[in-house]
Structure 1
Amino acid sequence: MGRRGYPPDFRRKVLDLVASGRKVSEVAFDLKISDQTIYSWLRQHQIDRDLGPGLTTPERADLRAARRRRRRC
């Protein structure tokens, strides 16, 4: 889909499909996206729910913004 990525509502629907019991590989094939992409979304979803280590989505956004500001200097 390019550099912009997938819309949040699409990601949510994909995660719901996997949560309903469908296999990641099956969902990825049907929607023509990488299974690794889905695994990344699942991992980030776990982090956002505080069920795993890592930066939450808002923390990642803050870090990206700080890096952008630093590059401008």
Structure 2
Amino acid sequence: MPRELSPEFRRKVLDLLRAGRAVQQIAEDLQISDQTIYNWRRQDRIDPGLVAGVTSTDHRRHT
């Protein structure tokens, strides 16, 4: 079963990406999957409207 990761942890990962760290290195260092990081990065671009997709707010309304 997947473990629940905090919003603070997610923010830390996204900050590392913005600082220029490679996805593979972050995944290895923090022991999370690279796919999780890619998903978080994509959602981080969707929420402010930078790319098309369902926002986090809309997703929560429909679940």
Distance across 2 between alignment mates of 1:22 and 1:59: 30
Question: SS of the residue aligned with 1:49?
Answer: coil
Instruction: Please give the TM-score of this superposition, normalised by the length of structure 1.
Output: 0.81
For residue 2 of structure 1, report the CA deviation from its aligned partner.
Answer: 2.6
Distance across 1 between alignment mates of 2:48 and 2:37: 16
Identity rate, percent: 51
Decide which structure has the larger Cα Rg and report it.
Answer: 1
Partner of 1:21: 20
User: Which string of whole-angstrom CA distances, capped at 9 and with x for unpartnered residues, describes residues 14-70 of structure 1?
Assistant: 000011000000000000000000000000000001001111101000011xxxxxx
Where do 5+ consecutive residues of structure 1 fail to align?
Answer: 65-73
Please state which structure has a larger fraction of its residues in helix. Answer: 1
**What is the correspondence of 1:1-73 to structure 2 with a 5 Å cutoff?**
2=2, 5-64=4-63
Question: SS of the residue aligned with 2:32?
Answer: coil
For residue 10 of structure 1, report the CA deviation from its aligned partner.
Answer: 0.2
Distance across 2 between alignment mates of 1:35 and 1:7: 17
Distance across 1 between alignment mates of 2:15 and 2:46: 16
Where do 5+ consecutive residues of structure 2 fail to align?
Answer: none
